[in-house]
Amino acid sequence: MTSVDPLRNLGVRNTPHGGELRVWSEHAETMEICLFDDRDPNWMVKTVQMTKDSHNVWLGRSRSLHPGRRYAIRASGPAGPTNVFNPETLLIDPYARGLVRTGSASWLSTVIENGFDWGDSQKPNTALDHTVIYEAHVKGISKLNPAIPEELRGTYAGLAHPATVSYLKDLGVTAIELLPVHAYVSEQRLINQGLSNYWGYNTLNFFSPHAPYATRSAQADGPEAVLREFKGMVKLLHEAGLEVILDVVYNHTAEEGLGGPRTSFRGIDNVAYYRQDAHGAYIDVTGCGNTVNFGHDVPVRLVLDSLRYWANEVQIDGFRFDLAATLGRNANLDFTRDHPLLTGILEDPQLAEVKMIAEPWDVGNGGWQTGNFPDGWSEWNDRYRDRVRSFWLTDIAEARAKGRASVGIGGFATRLAGSSNTFSPERGPLASVNFITAHDGFTMADLTSYNVKHNLGNGEDNRDGTDSNRSFNHGVEGPTADEAILLARHKAMRNLMATLVFSAGVPMLTAGDEFGRSQRGNNNAYCQDSELTWMSWLQTREQQELFRTTRHLLALRRNNPALRPSRYAVLGQTTKNASHMDWYDAGGSLMDDNDWNSPENRTLQYLTASTPDREEFNRVLLIVHGVEDDVTVSLPRHPGVTSYALLWDSATEVPIDEDPTEYPPGTTRLVGGASMQLYRANGPRMPGEG
């Protein structure tokens, strides 16, 4: 006999006999549903007492609990240091699909019908080795776009507008990763400063879309219309072949520390939902005031239910988990890679084929877990970010100051080839989400233009934001008219972007980096909802050239499977979907141990051949030169290679449009200072190359 899941159907369920609300709370002593007038959100028309079953699930039924109805929960319970019940507080249903704001700090849940015509729209299911992620903000990407009707700018509909979609398709990305779109609010501290939370990492509810990102007409029509606009956005992006990944914040909530707002979980069962000590003090490993208690089964279930809802009802393709180390902390606060939540996400059949990406750290003890998540997860690779920034920026700055950099090319090469020193052979290079910038930190343009952060506008006297930027201003802090400095900055951006695109792993671009968007040195613009953070669509000639370069680089990645291995190569074996790699020095000889480790050597030739089972055989040569003086290289003589065709050179400001020039092996080529060149290596496949 199959057992019935006692936690099934939490939240509101529409039945033939009316609505049924189920809420879990172990410590509440009474609970009731408060029903409100359809037109006046402040007029409570009815209360319904709820009853508790043996599994701590409270149940209430009412024919008035129909689609469109606004409702809240009130709960009472014992006093004490770990409980904060208040029978007068109107609480949000943790499973509410829609919210209505009724005051500066008060909300009502809304019953949603959930109907939507998806038509023939289907998830693109882009293979991970073909995936290119574009991290963007719903509002920021379209707010200033003159090609979009004004009433749609900065909205879900604006993101799905043909002008935005065609831009993303033309650029060549395959997935858009949205900064948080779960309903969120600004922190009390920001409100008191007259600022707001722009990024959205302060979640109010895990099932409701953020209403202010909808058009005014949808907001006026209510939560059902907001959800419909969100689903319409997903449908149109899918029809264009673009996946939608959500940045989700399950590690903490907007209830902040004790004394903060009591809007939902705290008033329902503070003991179960939040980490705290015996005295009621919150144990905070997120740096945000509270930590959701994933040492308890019910918060684990809440996250799984939320993911199932977004992946199936809303057709989301993937999730990026903010501070994901928190999700893997057990009852003792230790991170374990086999935590029930981390493994449950992978094993849930309702989440099959959904991309799962971890931000593999938090601020607690043992919080840095890059490389330690289970097989099936991809992870933001901060070690990749740091090594690539150092190679092209701070190493160059050091060489200018001291005559040479103190670090050679070996660590950079390891990151280029897929970070096999970080991820296990079973997981392979696609476990690494490679990034050089993200929403948090300098933009790519600012990495090349500022040595230090400039965050005074954030209201914290420039104390916020990291001081470890690994950036280089190339001689002047901030804007300059010096042509030599500008040329060096532009080339540095091309090198950074090319490294990202040509590296094994899953590349993630930050919106605007493709053309060099600046935030004027602000590396923590979470509270800046203005033209500082919105994408500008009026671009200079130099920005247009960088966009053309980025588009060209993404096409090269798409057309050359040798740059996209899904497995690590094994010496002496032929491994399908790995890349067979050979490493040469500037003279065309195979690299030796000294070449890898010596600061004297910052030039290599990386010859990689695919071993495909789905695509044609492919072989490319990438030359990397990390010194500002020019160098002459000898193209390597390699079995099977008959010629090298130059596809791209970072020393040129615009991509090569004409047919590529071919050079025989052994040809000497001049490589400009601090630059890269990519060649197609022509010739037959040889044994061991797939």
Which residues span the domain enclosing 62?
11-110
CATH of the domain at 612: 2.60.40.1180
Q: What is the pLDDT of residue 690?
A: 61
Residue 33 lies in a domain: yes
Helix (H, G, I), strand (E, B) or coil at 673: coil
**Tokens encoding 146:** 């003159």
C-alpha–C-alpha distance, residues 625 and 640, integer Å: 25
Active site residues: 322, 359
C-alpha–C-alpha distance, residues 141 and 480, integer Å: 27
Residue 168 lies in a domain: no
**Tokens encoding 203:** 């979640």
For residue 155, is pLDDT > 60?
A: yes
Q: What is the pLDDT of residue 423?
A: 97
For residue 669, is pLDDT > 60?
A: yes
Q: How confident is the model at residue 612 (pLDDT cuts 50, 70, 90)?
A: confident
Mean pLDDT of 138-153: 98
Residue 28 lies in a domain: yes
Provide the CA 323 distance to its chain's centre, in angstroms: 11
Residue 185 lies in a domain: no
Residue 239 lies in a domain: no
Q: What is the pLDDT of residue 507?
A: 98
The last residue of one of the domains, among 69, 90, 110, is 110
Mean pLDDT of 55-81: 96
In 3D space, the residue among 277, 278, 279, 283 whose CA is nearest the CA of residue 257 turns out to be 283
C-alpha–C-alpha distance, residues 670 and 634, integer Å: 9
pLDDT in tens, 593-609: 889 989 999 999 999 99
Q: What is the pLDDT of residue 576?
A: 86
Mean pLDDT of 163-168: 98
Q: What is the pLDDT of residue 3?
A: 67
Burial per residue of 77-101, b for 16 or more beta-carbon CB atoms within 10 angstroms, e otherwise = beeeebbbbeeebbbbbbbbbbbbb
Q: What is the pLDDT of residue 654?
A: 86
In 3D space, the residue among 665, 657, 658, 659 whose CA is nearest the CA of residue 681 turns out to be 665
In 3D space, the residue among 149, 109, 138, 142 whose CA is nearest the CA of residue 212 turns out to be 138
Mean pLDDT of 309-325: 98
pLDDT in tens, 200-232: 999 999 999 999 999 999 999 999 999 999 999
For residue 658, is pLDDT > 80?
A: no
Q: How confident is the model at residue 656 (pLDDT cuts 50, 70, 90)?
A: confident
Q: How confident is the model at residue 1 (pLDDT cuts 50, 70, 90)?
A: very low
Q: How confident is the model at residue 567 (pLDDT cuts 50, 70, 90)?
A: very high
**Tokens encoding 50:** 């709820």
The last residue of one of the domains, among 110, 139, 160, is 110
C-alpha–C-alpha distance, residues 183 and 164, integer Å: 23
Residue 458 lies in a domain: no
Number of domains in the chain: 2
C-alpha–C-alpha distance, residues 97 and 230, integer Å: 12
Residue 465 lies in a domain: no
Q: What is the pLDDT of residue 204?
A: 98
Question: Tell me, what amino acid is at 293?
Answer: N
pLDDT in tens, 445-457: 999 999 999 999 9
C-alpha–C-alpha distance, residues 198 and 186, integer Å: 8
**What is the average pLDDT value for the chain, to the nearest integer?**
96
The last residue of one of the domains, among 81, 110, 139, is 110
Whole-number percent of the chain with pLDDT over 90: 91
* pTM, 2 dp: 0.97
CATH of the domain at 93: 2.60.40.10
Burial per residue of 282-321, b for 16 or more beta-carbon CB atoms within 10 angstroms, e otherwise = bebbbebbbbbbbbbebbbbbbbbbbebbbeebbbbbbbb
Residue 205 lies in a domain: no
Q: How confident is the model at residue 22 (pLDDT cuts 50, 70, 90)?
A: very high
